Structures are given as C-alpha cells and as structure tokens.
Amino acid sequence: MERNILSLILLISSYILAAQSSIEGTVKDEAGAVQGAVIHIKELNQTTTSDSVGFFQFSNIPAGNYNLVIRMMGYSEQNIKVSASASLQPLQISLKQNDNTMNEVVVTGTLKEMRKSESPVPVEIYTPKFFLKNPTPNVFEAMSQINGVRPQLNCNICNTGDIHINGMEGPYTMVLIDGMPIVSSLSTVYGLSGIPNSMIERIEVVKGPASTIYGSEAMAGLINIITKNPTKAPTLSFDVFATSYGEVNTDIGYRARLTDKISTLLGVNYFNLAQKWDLNKDGLTDVPLQNRVSVFNKWEFQTMNSKANTIAIRYLYEDRWGGQMNWNKSLRGSDSIYGETIYTHRAELIGTYHLPTKENFMLQYSYNYHNQNSYYGKVAYMAQQHVGFAQLYWDKTIKTRHNINSGVAMRYVFYDDNTVGTSTITEGTTEVVNHPQHTILPGIFVQYEFTPNKKHKLLTGLRYDYNVVHGSIFSPRLSYKWSPTDNDIIRFNFGNGYRVVNLFTEDHAALTGAREVVIAKELKPEQSYNGNINYQRYINFNKGFINLDISGFYTYFTNKIIGDFDTDPNKIIYDNLSGHAVSAGASLNADISFTFPLKINAAVTYCKVYAVEKDSTGKKVRTQQVHAPEWSGTFSVAYTFNKIGLTIDWNGQWNGPMRLPVLPNDYRPEYSPWHCLMNIQATKKFKFGLEIYGGIKNLMNFVPKNPIMRPFDPFDKTASDVATNPNGYTFDASYNYAPLQGIRGFLGLRYSFR
C-alpha cells in the first residue's frame, strides 16, 4: 500500500514538473549584448531584466501561450508571442534604436554628427511627437513645453515676444534652422512662426554659451530646428485644427523623388484668426488677429561620392493687428482709435555643399531678408534687415581617438529702421541723419576632441572674431564627458560667450507703442563666462525605466545691456551695466516609462537672474531681472488604450512669481502670482495613418488681471489731468506674465501617408 502511494506521488510530481516550463534568451542590438532590458510577461505579470551578456530567463512557469514585452531606454518597444514548453529554444531578441533617445544622432553643440550619449555637450532632443501632445500653430508657442525655455510675450496687444533660456532674454538665444543662424534678433517671433510642422524632423536645444562654434548671440543657448530629409519624409501629410476662439491652422507636406539623385520636400502652413475677443472687457483685443502663410521648399542632391547637398527656401507673410475693438485698417497710424498693426515679409535661403575632395570639407551658407512695416498707435516702426552667413569647415578624424573640426566664417548684417537705433545727429546741428548699421563679423574657429576610451571624452575649442567697431573677440570652451557605467553620464562644460551690439528696437517699440527708446551712450559688446555640470542616470526597474537629467549652471556677465524701465515710465533707457549680472540655478528632468502604456514627464527649473550695480552712494544694489521667474516647470502624463487606439495626454507648464515692469505708484503687484496653464487632449489613431484629436487648452481658465494700464486712454490724451489721474499713470501694455487667452476647445485631423 505504501509503495502504491509513493508511486502515485512520484507520478503526480513528474506530471507537475513536466507542466512547468521556462522562457530564456538573449537581448542584442547592432553592437552586441544589451544589459538592463526589461522583459515582462503580461499574462503572469512577471518581469526580469537582461544581464551583462544580454541573457534573461523565466523559470518554472506553466506551459502556455504568452505575450512578452521588451523595453529598454533608447530602443523601440518589442512585443513577441511565444508558446512556453519544455522544448522551447532560447529566444534571440534584436532591439532597434528609436528616434527620441540618447542614441539619436545630434549635431548641435559640436557641428559633428554623433550619438547623443557620446556628446560631451548636453543636447536636449524634441521630436514632433513631443509637441503633438499640445498642438500649437507655431514653434514659438511650442517652446513653452520645454523645461527652462520660456516664450515671453512682450506686448499684451500685438503679442510680439522672444525666447528666454534659463531666464535670459531673447537676444541671448540663437535660433538656427539646419544649423544656420537664419532667425535673427529682429525676427524671433516671426522667424519661428509659420515653420510647417511637416518640415520638422526634431528640435535640438543646448543651454549655455556656444559662441565658440556659432559666434555672436549664442550666450544663453541654442535652439536648432532640424528639417526633414526629403528622401525619408512621408509622401503626403496634413494636419488641420481649429479652436473655439476661431483659430484655424493648416499644415501640409508633400515629398517627391524626381530622379535617383534629386528629391524635394514642400511644406505649407496657413494660420488665420479673424474673430475679435475682449473677455476681460477692457476695450482692447485679448488676442491679435492674424493672417499668416509660410512656404518651405527643401531640395536634396546626391553627388557622385554619395554625399548629400541641400538647398532650402522659405517665404513668410503675416498681417497681424490688435487694439481697440472698433479699430480698422483705415485708421492705421492715426491717433483717434488705437491699433497696433504689423505687416511682415520674410525670405530665407539655407544650403549645404560638400566639396568634391577626399577630405571632409563642407560649405554652409544662409541668407535672410526681413521687412517690417508697423504702427503702434501713431508711432511708426519701419525696418529692413539682411543677414548673410557663410561657413567653410573641415572635419578630420585621426586614428579614431582624435578629431579636429576647424573652419572660417563670415557674417554680414545690414539693419535699418526709423528709430534712434540707426540715426545720428550732425555735429553742431540738430539735423538727424539716417545711419544704417553694417556689421561685418569674420571669424575662425578650431575644436579638438579626444576620446581615449568609451568612458571618457574631452572637447576643447577656441574661436576668434573681429569686429570693425569692437576689435578682436576670443571665445574659448572646454567640455568633458565621463561615463562611469553604461547607465551614468556626467558632463562638465566651461565657456565664454559674447554678443556684438546690434540693438534692434522693434520689440521695444512693440512693448506699448508709447515708450521712447533711449541709448545712453555707445554700447560695448557683452561678455559672459559660464560653467555647468550635467548628470544623466538611467534606472531600469521591474515595471519600466526612468531617465533622470540634472543640471547646475552659473553665468557671469560683464557689459550686459539692460533696459531701464524704472527711471522714466515713458522711456526705455539702454546702457551697459557698470557692475555685473548673474544667471544661476539648477534644473531637473524626469522621464518615466512603464511596462504598461503610461508615460510621465516632470521637470523643474530654479533660476536666479539679477544684476549688481552701485547706486549714487557707492553701495552695491542687487536688482532682479524682469520676466524671469525663480521657479518654473513642465509636466506631461500620457496613457494609451492600445486595444482601441486612444491616447490621453494631460500636460502643462507652471511659473512662480516673476518681477514685472510696473510704473511709479502702480496699483498692480510688482510680482506675478504662481500660475499654471494646463491642457488635456484625446487622440484616436486609425490603422491607415489617420488621427483625430481634440481637447481643451488652459483648462483652469487662468488669465492675468489688469494687464494693461489705462486701456481707455491709449494715446495718453488725458494722462496729464491731475484731477482724474493723480498718480500720473500712462498707458502701458508691457505688464505680461501669461497669455490673455482663456479656456478654449480644439479639434483636429492629422494624416500621414508613406
């Protein structure tokens, strides 16, 4: 009897063991084994990770059919169906690098293509998918989704503005298209408006001085808009959306391959807002009316040596106006009914040419023409600008470890307007003579990169520029990258930045149309000295992975040009700072992806931007810069219901208190309140490339209070009446810290065909 029971136990045990199976295999990419990949069995809710040779194993699991999900930071997600049994052979899983990670190729910061993880300069990459979480009609507005980057509206009526990086004003940010300085200080808001989304491959952001490579204006950082390759873009794409405010944005892209060696890509953007809004009842439009069209055409030519030469052209026309609700174009420039009206014509040319030599020589060139025809009330602002740029550089790698990149550059700027910025007074008379600015800036640069091994990389560089007014200008840099493990990267960057004076007054006139621009004396070139440290950490856990990016930065300015809003409420006085200025702080970005379809991004920046100058008694006084919040951040949460192809995106940006340009005895607070602009969107995807999306912007309906001083008297006709205006207030629209658009819905349709 006992023998029979023992036999039965052995029989049952052998059956149970036979029913238990295992799943094992290796995870690799093109370079070899992938360590730290997360492998998840949905049905059993079990997770493991690959070891140093890419091996993974699930032991003693029931036989059956399973779905494996393989995820790894830097690679596209893999879904594999397996039938677990005792005879299952080891799996061979190959991961493909995706387009939105540390493995993507970047060019900004070094002029040389390399993987983001290998770059000694920290480069942030944003693909169109990132910006589609909160659709905007232009790149300028889209920048608000990037931590530490803030589009600042300088006028509550016409909505002109600039882009701040780490609290520093727009003139310190260089905006590039395909590596070319096509967007100048005259036209930041216009140059970034109307770039068709169908043309954008990615946007690369570098925070910190980059004058060693790119010259003047790159003191706060770079925003490089990389356009799509005409040979790889979708054959046809379009994206159309409208909002409850009456805004309509249309974006169309078309690619054609004309011959085996010639391809072209055409992008068209059209934006229109024709409906007047005055929800705050101040008698002025909350949002300027706009009619804008932009056409972008890029060509690629394959040469005999398989190198690609490109040429692209863009034309932009915009008509925008804001002001009193009963204004019309027949009143343009009059002083009866107030209006701010801007006509913009802009043309751009961008090209690259590989010289037919064995050595890697490349010629890059660009040209842009900008014509501005504006009236701010009765104040006219007419301006023209031509910017030509050419750069020839040589890239040489010696025995894989050493790389030299050197070149010569020439930049020419012609600028003319009808303000004091381009006029002189004849000596001994009061005659004002127009004196357009002609700036010629030749330069030469060299950078050396040394890679002793996989963990270390050193980059040094020096640039020399000569200006006929300011003389010789040197810009050195030093960058070092250390990767102690495959999941940790530490970068140190030190450099010098500069900005040759090219005081453009359109933004300043646009502040109100009422302030007079005053240049105290001949301005000197600004200099900055910057140091920053960046740490990136990749953390894999059973349910997903985390990408942490932490940076600390410090920039010291001399000769900084600061606008004085306080001395005279009717003037903006520009002069070099007699003391120094500082921008210092830290930022944190966290990207979290889970094995289930949830993704979270949270980011925060702390930044102190201030100037130190002696007062009349000799005491040093510290003044916080206007429009530079100490605390700011962004967030994004996305969840996808895979079975029905529906994604929900909840995102937003928030700002802490920032100093604002108040008037004497102003009843408005000098510091703005904490505020958050959040949005929600639902996107339904169909198998044949069609997407339908819709949602709500400014979900909490946040709108600034009292943004405009004396909106009922924009021409200050009764400002001098002491009885009705005892504090001497004047019309002013520069008190801005958030858009005046309230809550609004939007609905769109998107299609892409390859």
- Assign 12 a pLDDT band (cuts: 50, 70, 90): very low
pLDDT at 185: 55
Instruction: Average the pLDDT over 491-505 and give the result.
Output: 73
Residue 28 has pLDDT above 50, yes or no: yes
pLDDT at position 271 is 96
Residue in 146, 110, 100 with CA at minimum distance from that of residue 493? 110
The residue ranges of DSSP E strands in 377-436, in sequence order, are 379-398, 402-417, 423-425, 432-434
**Residue-range domain boundaries for the chain:** 2-94, 105-402+411-430+439-753
Whether 186 has a pLDDT exceeding 60, the answer reads no
Averaged over 641-650, what is the pLDDT?
92
- Check residue 509 and give its pLDDT: 44
The predicted pLDDT at position 72 comes to 75
Q: What is the DSSP secondary structure assignment for residue 54, as one 8-state letter?
A: S
Residue 361: predicted pLDDT: 92
pLDDT for position 103: 56
CA distance 543 to 163: 38
Angstrom distances, CA of residue 620 to CA of 192, 330, 528, 564, 577:
39, 52, 20, 17, 13
Predicted confidence band of residue 1 (pLDDT cuts 50, 70, 90): low
3-state secondary structure of 282: coil
Distance CA 144, CA 138 (A): 11
| In the block, residue with structure tokens 């026309």 | 317
322: helix, strand or coil? strand
In the DSSP assignment, the letter for residue 330 is G
User: Could you tell me what percent of the chain has a pLDDT over 70?
Assistant: 87
Residue with tokens 């740029």: 389
Q: Percent of the chain beyond pLDDT 90?
A: 41
Chain centroid to Cα 451, Å, comes to: 29
Q: What's this model's pTM, rounded to 2 decimal places?
A: 0.82
pLDDT of residue 128: 86
Angstrom CA distances, 22 to 17, 305, 595, 752, stand at 11, 51, 21, 42
Comparison of pLDDT for 215 and 365, the residue scoring more: 365
**CATH classification for the domain delimited by 105-402+411-430+439-753, as one of 2.40.50.420, 3.20.20.150, 3.40.640.10, 2.40.170.20:** 2.40.170.20
Rounded-to-10 torsion of CA 517, 520, 524, 527: -70
Amino acid at residue number 329: K
Best CA proximity match to 340, nearest among 736, 740, 733:
733
pLDDT tens profile 378-421: 988 888 989 899 999 999 989 889 999 999 999 898 988 887 66
Mean pLDDT of 16-36: 73
pLDDT digits (tens, 9 = 90+) for 304-361: 766 789 999 999 999 999 999 999 999 999 999 999 999 999 999 999 999 988 888 9
Lowest mean pLDDT among 104-118, 144-158, 363-377, 599-613: 104-118
Q: In 75-178, where does DSSP find H-type helix?
A: 128-131, 139-142
Q: Name the DSSP class of 143.
A: G
Q: In this predicted model, what pLDDT tens digit does every residue of 545-597 receive, in sequence order?
A: 899 999 999 988 887 776 666 677 666 677 777 788 899 999 999 999 888 88
Domain 2-94 carries which CATH code?
A: 2.60.40.1120
Which of 14-18, 229-233, 477-481 comes out lowest in average pLDDT? 14-18
Q: What is the pLDDT of residue 73?
A: 64
Of the two residues 681 and 110, the one the predictor is more confident about is 681
What integer is the mean pLDDT of 33-58? 82
CB atoms within 10 A of CB 333: 13
Average pLDDT, the chain: 85
- Give the tens place of pLDDT for each residue, 245-299: 999 999 999 999 998 889 999 999 999 999 999 999 999 999 999 999 999 999 9
The three-class DSSP label of residue 182 is strand
Average pLDDT over residues 696-704: 95
Which residues sit opposite 339 in a β-bridge?
323
